[in-house]
Amino acid sequence: MKDFARMVRPAAPVVFGGQPVINFRDENSRRRFLKTAAVIGAGSTLVAATLRDQMAFADASANDLEILNYALTLEYLEADFYKQGIDGGVLEGRDLELVEPIGEHEQAHVDALTQTIKDLGGTPAEKPQFVYPDGTFDDKDMFLKNASAFEELGVTAYHGQVPRIEDGDILAAAAAIAGVESRHAAVIADLLGENPFPAAFEKSMTMDEVLDAAGDFIES
């Protein structure tokens, strides 16, 4: 005999400090929420795994593919920037300890976005050639200031595309990456002695605005 009490009992709520903050209509609703929360909060490993799930993104539109390639171009820039700085030895000690994982995250984003675009039948954008201001990889403060600019640009870029993304799963994955980029920006701001959380809400920029800002660093 089926456990009737279990069938009619409300799904377990999400609790904070011992008090429920979200009550779910049923167990399926709870599982969907927890799955999305895991994607958003678990970092680049789960982001990559989710992005590679071809079935999850089977209905991606041409618009969403354009956004994915746009994000890929920005991730190329960040991954290249951190690799050059870390390989060049511009950082050491605690600075290096905190920034090195950021570079690894950016490369993980590149790999995940590239594979996702391929899985969806699209063509990943080619990696451009980048150019940076003279002395960027010789001076720690200059490197960190540029890192801060790139991270803030990445955060505003992802937030600017949220209203345009049509597929819910792609939206969840983009939110996951945006959350990680925000953490990067906070770490870099702290290393510069600046406020790591200057506002209650993130700003956003359009695709044209972001590409215009990044254009000075893209050679071809």
Please report, for the domain that includes residue 65, its CATH number: 1.20.1260.10
Shared domain for 142 and 161, answered yes or no, is: yes
Least confident of 12-21, 101-110, 181-190, 211-220: 12-21
- 12 and 53 housed in the same domain: no
Looking at the structure, tell me whether residues 100 and 163 fall in a common domain. Answer: yes
pTM: 0.73
Residues 71 and 163 in one domain: yes
pLDDT band for position 24 (50/70/90)?
very low
91 and 64 in a single domain? The answer is yes
34-74 pLDDT, tens digit each: 444 443 333 443 444 444 444 344 445 889 999 999 999 99
Are 32 and 47 found together in one domain? no
Residue 169: the pLDDT is 83
My answer on whether 18 and 98 are in the same domain is: no
User: Which of the 8 DSSP states describes residue 163?
Assistant: G
Which of the two residues, 96 and 202, has the higher pLDDT score?
Answer: 96
Residues 81, 29 share a domain: no
Over residues 90-115, mean pLDDT: 96
CA–CA distance, 157 with 43 (Å, rounded to integer): 19
- 33 lies in the same domain as 63: no
- Domain of residue 71: give its range: 42-217
- 85 and 161 housed in the same domain: yes
33 and 134, same domain (yes or no): no
pLDDT score of 60: 59
- Which DSSP string corresponds to 75-139? HHHHHHHHHHHHHTT---HHHHHHHHHHHHHHHHHHHHHHHHHHHTT--PPPPPPB---TTTTT-
Helices vs strands, H then E, count in the chain: 8, 2
User: 19-36 burial string, b = 16+ CB within 10 Å, else e?
Assistant: eeeeebeeeeebeeeeeb
Give tens-digit pLDDT for 114-131: 998 998 889 999 999 999
pLDDT digits 0-9 by tens, 167-191? 988 898 899 999 999 999 999 999 9
Is the torsion defined by CA of 85, 88, 94, 99 positive or negative?
positive
At which residue do the structure tokens 């009619």 appear? Answer: 8
- Lowest mean pLDDT across 9-18, 132-141, 148-157, 198-207: 9-18
Alpha-carbon 98 to chain mean position: 17
What was the pLDDT predicted at 47? 44
Q: How many domains does the chain have?
A: 2
Looking at the fold, whether 84 and 55 belong to one and the same domain comes out as yes
